[in-house]
A and B are shown apart, each in its own frame.
Chain A
Amino acid sequence: MKSKKPITIVTGFLGSGKTTLLSRLPVGTEGVAVLVNEFGEVGLDHHLLRRVNERTTLLGNGCVCCTRREDLVESLLELLSMESGGEVRELRRVVVETSGLADPAPILFTIFEHPVLRHHFEIDRVVATVDAVNGNLHLDANPESTKQVSAADFVVLTKRDLATETEAHALETRLQNVNPAARILHSGDDINALFDHDVTVRDAPEAPSDPHSGGTDSVSLTFDGAVDWAAFGVWLSMLLHARGEEVLRVKGMLDVGETGPVILNGVQHTIHPPDHLDEWPDGMRGSRLVFITRGVAAGEILASLEAFAGLLGASPLALRAVEAPDADR
């Protein structure tokens, strides 16, 4: 069977450099479709460039992240039919740009729930751009910005040349604290890697040096043994039902006593279909999970897992940062 087509989501606050990042997409990349929010000054001369007007349908249960992006469904179905009709030779990847105020969760939800799309596409990674000059301001003032960073697998620090070294460094530490699971890149780095399927995003999350950063809390944890997958699924789905909007992100890998780990990745209520691997990446066996929460203390998550230890078959252990080099922000 043909594997699913990867989707890269590019998100970031207003003016944080999403479009600039897209315009640096390797020119002439064949089979890469780009769905943008508005035609700005993107120098993308591309017949696979589509404009989508954000159009959402709120589903019955009324939760904001469980909204369906109809515009996106239409565009992606159109791309699929273009491919099967031979207008496009091979669709290799789709890049979706969100608007600056968008919460990326509905996009993930749309793809995972749609009866056709979920068999053809997978969300490969979420890239968030953060402005090195105004990033701190955005994180302080706008909950959307924090959501975008929490949802990201890669954070690209843009306009680095306009910020002082200390500013940029402090922001970088803050971002790593908000989302210990993300890899931080600079816009000067080779961004091709962001759109390349071979680059793995399955890094083990780092323990945050200062987990209480900017209104969010995060905890990195492991377990003292293999975890019962059924019990973990029950615990997590129960947590997300009760506290979905307060749990911004769950990411990591879980030792469920099989030959490889289960890769877990969730943004608010939306969980990627868990991927059961055949072997452990870099041969290191052991669960590593990160929770990013807002309004729920990391300690509560640990206490809950501890109380569920009898069902889970293992007890949680919080991972502490080995060193906190930039704690004096």
Chain B
Amino acid sequence: MCVLCGEFVSGPHWTDRNHEDAVRAGSISEGEYQTLRRRGRIGRAGVVSAVLKHYGLKLDEWSGARYVLRNKKGRTEIVGDLSGVWTAAEKMLGFAPDPLDMSLLEKMRT
């Protein structure tokens, strides 16, 4: 558990792990790794927002360690990774956003 925020720390989500081995093997520098990691997270937040806007939700990346999910009534949830994002979205919406849901796909196409 993180002593500062009281949050349980689990292993990094697989989407956050793509350059992990490269930096451990020394083929990219620590700074470069942080840049790539942050860039990936910001990119994913943008994609999530593009999908969840159909449900009235928006996701922002915050400081390379957190994501902030908001709805239009101002409710926010702070989570660590994409797995947390989907769980939080499910909590806010009352159902899990489903990429196989035909009505969502219809909106995505237009």
Q: Is the CB of A272 within 8 A of B14?
A: yes
Q: How far is the CB of B80 from chain A (nearest CB, A)?
A: 13
A241 to B97, CA, bound (A): 9
The answer to the question of A1 belonging to the interface, with a C-beta cut-off of 8 Å to chain B, is: yes
Q: In the complex, what residues of A have CB within 8 A of residue B63's CB?
A: none
Chain A residues 224 to 251 lying within 8 A of chain B, measured CB to CB, are 228-231, 233-235, 237-239, 241-243
Q: Is the CB of B20 within 8 A of A296?
A: no
The answer to the question of B30 belonging to the interface, with a C-beta cut-off of 8 Å to chain A, is: no
The answer to the question of A118 belonging to the interface, with a C-beta cut-off of 8 Å to chain B, is: yes
Q: Is the CB of A230 within 8 A of B99?
A: no
A142 to B82, CA, bound (A): 33
Instruction: Knowing A118-B11, A229-B18, say if A238 contacts B51 (CB, 8 Å).
Output: yes
Interface size class of B (residues with CB under 8 A): 35 or more
Q: Is the CB of B10 within 8 A of A242?
A: no
Q: Is the CB of B98 within 8 A of A242?
A: yes
A142 to B57, CA, bound (A): 41
A323 to B98, CA, bound (A): 34
Q: In the complex, what residues of A have CB within 8 A of residue B87's CB?
A: 61, 241
Q: In the complex, what residues of A have CB within 8 A of residue B108's CB?
A: 307-308, 310-311
Q: In the complex, what residues of A have CB within 8 A of residue B15's CB?
A: 230, 233-234, 237
The answer to the question of A30 belonging to the interface, with a C-beta cut-off of 8 Å to chain B, is: no
Q: In the complex, what residues of B have CB within 8 A of residue A283's CB?
A: none
Interface size class of A (residues with CB under 8 A): 35 or more
> Could you say which of B10, B13, B14, B108 has the most chain A C-beta atoms within 10 Å of its C-beta?
B14
The answer to the question of B22 belonging to the interface, with a C-beta cut-off of 8 Å to chain A, is: yes
> Could you say which of A118, A231, A233 has the most chain B C-beta atoms within 10 Å of its C-beta?
A233
Q: In the complex, what residues of B have CB within 8 A of residue A301's CB?
A: 100
A262 to B100, CA, bound (A): 24
Q: Is the CB of A311 within 8 A of B51?
A: yes
Q: Is the CB of A112 within 8 A of B105?
A: no
Q: Is the CB of B47 within 8 A of A230?
A: yes
Q: Is the CB of B18 within 8 A of A276?
A: yes
- Give per-residue flags for B1-44: 1 if the beta carbon is below 8 A from chain A beta carbons, else 0: 00000000011011101111110111000000000000010011
Chain B residues 40 to 70 lying within 8 A of chain A, measured CB to CB, are 40, 43-44, 46-48, 50-51
Instruction: Knowing A1-B26, A230-B43, A230-B47, say if A242 contacts B99 (CB, 8 Å).
Output: yes
Residue of A nearest to B42 (CB): A230
Q: Is the CB of B17 within 8 A of A239?
A: no
Residue of A nearest to B26 (CB): A1
> Could you say which of A262, A276, A307 has the most chain B C-beta atoms within 10 Å of its C-beta?
A307
Q: Is the CB of A304 within 8 A of B99?
A: yes
Query: Assuming A273-B17, A311-B47, what are 4 further A-B pairs, CB within 8 angstroms?
Result: A118-B11, A230-B47, A234-B48, A310-B108
Q: What is A's interface to B at a CB cutoff of 8 Å? A: 1, 61, 112-115, 118, 228-231, 233-235, 237-239, 241-243, 262, 271-276, 296, 300-301, 303-304, 307-308, 310-311
Which 3 pairs between the two chains have the least Cβ-Cβ distance? Answer: A230-B43, A241-B86, A307-B105
